[in-house]
Each structure stands twice: as structure tokens, then as C-alpha cells.
């Protein structure tokens, strides 16, 4: 156990019962969707689940040090996992929703880059404060060497701490996490928007133009909600702090993938049924 809370070993496996229950729920949600509306709505649900998986996986890349990072006791960004990932993903969703009319590919890429850019700026300013505000160099507590730059860390760690600052590998991890979060959030938004634009005019008995603002609003709200659901599941999987892709806790991501798949399937099913039925 780490002195700063949370296990540092990582890689605890999944229980067989959990896997079976998860798979049953996943198949049940997909089957229900297939029975209710095969075709476009079913494909959308599958892609919504993929979006949820991207968010859950992406959160594991984001270097978060929580309260210890704010004291220079551990490396990472001094905030909570869910919050930071949500901030980055939602900034991506903003860009993706803006680009939605330019096509599927541009919207997804726009969302991903929006999230990545948010994290790139945040990580840079975090390092500015660490270096010039607190006077500490970046040093990881989990690995001896930075896997990208080859910098050694042991000699740069303050006495009595588990490292501090934001090593380059964590910076790159943050940008990747932001990109995946923005991509996943935008995918969910675009798919739900497509479903609502298709089915809401029929169920509400109104013209497509009249329904569009409602479709955009509901798709956006549900995309934000599903973003938080998946980010919270991933944060519970991480428990406490994580430095990025080099952290041993990163290996726990398969559990979060399973949890996010089930949660996204059920949330997505409800979100789509609302318009289809």
C-alpha cells in the first residue's frame, strides 16, 4: 500500500461472477434494443457503448495526484480523476458538437483534438506552477526512468515525498486521455443526435426543424451525463492517484472497460428507447 492511500500494485483481476453478470446485462441490453428497433438505432447503441469504453479507457491515461499533488507529495495534476477527465472530455464535446454538421469524421476528430488541447494547456500550466511557483522539478514516484525521454527521477525527488511535478510521460498520457475522452464523448453525442433527429419527429408529431433544438439539447445533456458515469466508474477503478500509462494501476483498465460497457449499454438503451418508443 502506498502511504498516500490506494494500492500501488494494480492489476487485481475481475471476479468470474462479475464478468458473467456484466456480459449477461450487456447482451440483454443489446438484445432488447435489437427487438425494439433493429438497424439504425441498434448500430447507434453499439457505437454509444464504444464511446463509453473510450471514455473509461481514456481516464486511465490522465495523470491525477489529488490532494498529495497539491502539496508536492506525489506527481500528477492536483485534482480528482473524474473532474479532470470530465473537463477535458466536455471541452472536446464542445468542439465535436460544433463540427457535427461537417461530417462524422471531422466531428470525431474535432472532439478528440478539443479534449487533447484542453489537457495540453492544463498540463503545461500545471508544470509552470510546479517549476516557478513551487520550485520543484518533475519526478515520478512509480518508475525510475521516464519511458519516453529516459530522464532518471530518483535524484530529483524531495525527501519524504513520492515525487512531484508532471514528468513528460504523464504529460503525453494526459493529452492521450483528453483525446480519447473527447472522442468518446463526441461519438456518444453524434450517435444520440442522429437517433433523435430520426425518431423524435415521428414520436412528437412535429417537423424535423422544430425538433432539432430539442434533439441537440437532449443529446448534449445525455452525452454529458454518460461522460460522468463512465469517468466515475474509471475513477473508482483507479482509486486515488495515478501517474499515467506507466503507472502500475494503469493495468487495471480491463475492469473499467467491463464496467463502462455495461453502464453505457444500459444508459444508452434508456436514452435511445426514449425517442424510439
Partner 1 sequence: MEELLFGIGISAIAGALATVSGAAEDTESDIGSQGDPNSQVQLAPQMGYIHRIFSKAISGEPPAYGLWITLGAGLAWALMAINYNPVLAIILGSAIAVFVQGVYATTAYLGRTASLAKFEQPVYIDVIKSVTTVTMAHAFVAIFTCVTMCFLMVNALGHPFPLPLMGLVWGIALGAAGSATGNPFYGKERQYQSQKFGAGVPISASGNIVRYAEAGQRSSLDNGWFTSKLGGPASGVCFGLIVFLELWRTIFFEEFAGGWGAVIAGIILILIFMIVDRYIEVWARKTYGPYTEEKTEEAA
Of 232-271, binders to partner 1 (CB under 8 A) are none
Question: What own/partner pairs with CB < 8 Å and gap ≥ 24 does 145-149 have?
Answer: 147/246, 148/172
Q: Which range, of 18-26, 47-55, 147-155, 194-202, touches partner 1 by CB under 8 A?
A: 147-155
Alpha carbons 111 and 178: distance in angstroms, whole number: 10
**Spatial contact of 78 and 70, defined as CB atoms under 8 Å apart:** yes
User: Please, which residues have CB within 8 angstroms of residue 16's CB and are 6 or more apart in sequence?
Assistant: none
At closest approach, how far in Å is the CB of 153 from partner 1? 8
- Choice from 54, 117, 180, 272 touching partner 1 (CB under 8 A): 117
Alpha carbons 111 and 99: distance in angstroms, whole number: 8
**Spatial contact of 252 and 10, defined as CB atoms under 8 Å apart:** yes
Q: 162 or 247: whose CB is closer to partner 1?
A: 162
79 binds partner 1 (CB under 8 A): yes
At closest approach, how far in Å is the CB of 263 from partner 1? 19
By three-state DSSP, how is residue 239 classified? coil
To 10 degrees, the CA torsion angle through 223, 224, 227, 229?
-110
Alpha carbons 198 and 177: distance in angstroms, whole number: 32
Alpha carbons 99 and 81: distance in angstroms, whole number: 27
**Spatial contact of 37 and 241, defined as CB atoms under 8 Å apart:** no
128 binds partner 1 (CB under 8 A): yes
Q: Which range, of 33-41, 124-132, 194-202, 246-254, touches partner 1 by CB under 8 A?
A: 124-132
226 binds partner 1 (CB under 8 A): no
At closest approach, how far in Å is the CB of 174 from partner 1? 10
Measured from the Cβ of residue 83, the count of other Cβ atoms closer than 10 Å reads 15
# residues contacting partner 1 (CB under 8 A): 88
- Choice from 29, 45, 53, 113 touching partner 1 (CB under 8 A): 113
- Choice from 224, 266, 273, 274 touching partner 1 (CB under 8 A): 224
- Choice from 1, 35, 144, 277 touching partner 1 (CB under 8 A): 144
Name which of 247, 78, 253 is nearest 173 in CA terms. 247
Q: Which range, of 43-51, 79-87, 254-262, 267-275, touches partner 1 by CB under 8 A?
A: 79-87
211 binds partner 1 (CB under 8 A): no
For residue 145, the cross-strand partners are 152
Q: Which residues within the stretch 37-76 sit at the binding site for partner 1 (CB under 8 A)?
A: 66-73
201 binds partner 1 (CB under 8 A): no
- Choice from 37, 44, 161, 237 touching partner 1 (CB under 8 A): 161
Q: 100 or 272: whose CB is closer to partner 1?
A: 100
Cell numbers 519524504 correspond to what residue? 160
At closest approach, how far in Å is the CB of 195 from partner 1? 16
Q: Which range, of 14-22, 30-38, 93-101, 266-274, touches partner 1 by CB under 8 A?
A: 93-101
Amino acid at each position: 500500500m502506498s502511504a498516500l492511500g490506494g494500492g500501488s500494485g494494480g492489476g487485481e483481476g475481475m471476479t468470474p461472477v462479475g464478468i458473467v453478470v456484466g456480459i449477461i446485462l450487456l447482451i440483454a441490453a443489446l438484445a432488447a434494443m435489437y427487438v425494439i428497433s433493429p438497424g439504425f438505432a441498434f448500430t447507434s447503441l453499439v457505437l454509444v457503448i464504444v464511446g463509453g469504453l473510450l471514455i473509461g479507457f481514456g481516464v486511465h491515461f490522465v495523470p491525477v495526484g489529488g490532494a498529495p499533488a497539491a502539496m508536492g507529495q506525489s506527481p500528477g495534476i492536483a485534482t480528482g480523476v473524474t473532474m479532470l477527465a470530465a473537463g477535458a472530455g466536455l471541452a472536446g464535446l464542445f468542439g465535436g458538437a460544433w463540427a457535427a454538421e461537417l461530417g462524422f469524421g471531422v466531428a470525431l476528430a474535432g472532439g478528440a483534438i478539443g479534449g487533447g488541447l484542453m489537457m495540453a494547456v492544463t498540463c503545461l500550466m500545471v508544470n509552470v506552477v510546479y517549476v516557478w511557483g513551487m520550485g520543484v522539478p518533475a519526478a515520478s514516484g512509480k518508475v525510475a526512468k521516464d519511458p519516453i525521454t529516459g530522464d532518471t527521477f530518483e535524484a530529483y525527488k524531495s525527501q519524504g515525498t513520492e515525487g512531484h511535478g508532471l514528468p513528460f510521460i504523464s504529460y503525453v498520457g494526459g493529452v492521450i486521455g483528453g483525446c480519447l475522452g473527447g472522442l468518446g464523448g463526441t461519438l456518444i453525442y453524434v450517435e444520440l443526435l442522429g437517433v433523435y433527429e430520426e425518431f423524435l419527429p415521428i414520436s412528437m408529431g412535429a417537423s424535423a426543424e422544430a425538433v432539432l433544438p430539442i434533439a441537440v439539447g437532449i443529446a448534449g445533456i445525455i452525452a454529458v451525463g454518460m461522460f460522468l458515469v463512465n469517468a466515475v466508474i474509471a475513477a473508482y477503478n483507479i482509486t486515488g492517484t495515478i501517474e499515467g500509462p506507466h503507472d502500475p494501476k494503469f493495468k487495471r483498465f480491463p475492469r473499467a472497460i467491463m464496467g463502462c460497457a455495461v453502464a453505457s449499454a444500459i444508459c444508452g438503451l434508456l436514452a435511445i428507447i426514449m425517442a424510439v418508443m
